[in-house]
A = this chain, B = another copy of it.
Amino acid sequence: MSDTRDRVLEAALDCLVRNGYGGTTARAIAQAGGFAPGVIYYHFADLDDLLVAALARTSGSRIDRYRAELSGMDRAVPVVARLRELYDEDTETGHIAAVQELYAGARPGTRLADRLALETRRWEELAEELLTVLLRGKPLASVVRVRVLAGAAVAFYLGMETLTHLDGDRSRPATLFDQGIRLAAIFDRVPRLKRRARRVR
């Protein structure tokens, strides 16, 4: 059916990774995908529309994957270890780089920005789910609100990506994950408080 539509989406993501937001022009996308620039406008209203669709696709599928891989884990070390693998996966496929470019380039007030806000909320919801399980019964849980912590985690992840993308220094996330593992190990050693008949909503 919309075979070409998919090719356009893929080309747009490709272009984001290779040329950055500013270099993701209609012509560049067309060249990357090997089709005429007009094709874009047959399938999408405009570039903004295309990028929104591309974002929805890549972000959505990544969220699904992250959730599938991490859901229900209640110990921090394996979570961080898995996160690192997923991050490496993202780096290879370039999908996270594409999203990063969108965060960087989107102008506030555009549909793309709105959509990014939406996707951000989805990532925050996922983080909240995971953190809820991780923090259950831990003393830390009584100090911080999970929702806020989730927001901080997403912001941190985004900032790390921005910096990494900027200087191309892959050792930065590597070091951070290393450190994360150590902290996670300590965290896991903190015993859970016992509660009776805890029922969450």
Query: Is A23 interfacial (CB 8 A cutoff)?
Result: yes
A151 and B166 form a contact (CB under 8 A): no
Given contacts A107-B20, A144-B182, A183-B143, contact A113 B152 (CB under 8 A): no
Stretch of A52-60, A69-77, A127-135, A172-180 at the chain-chain interface: A172-180
Known pairs A117-B167, A143-B186, A155-B159; list 12 more (Cβ under 8 Å): A20-B108, A103-B162, A103-B166, A104-B105, A143-B183, A145-B179, A149-B179, A151-B163, A151-B176, A152-B160, A154-B159, A157-B159
**Which of B148, B176, B183 is within 8 Å of A179, CB to CB?**
B148
Interface residues of A in 135-158 (CB under 8 A from B): 143-145, 148-149, 151-152, 154-158
A residues with CB within 8 A of B: 20-23, 103-108, 113, 116-117, 120, 143-145, 148-149, 151-152, 154-160, 162-163, 165-168, 172, 175-176, 179, 182-183, 186
**Complex interface: chain B residues within 8 A of A159 (CB):** 154-160, 162
B23 and A168 form a contact (CB under 8 A): no
**Complex interface: chain B residues within 8 A of A176 (CB):** 148, 151-152, 155
Min Cβ gap A77→B in Å is 14
**Complex interface: chain B residues within 8 A of A172 (CB):** 151
* Most B Cβ at <10 Å: residue of A152, A156, A159: A159
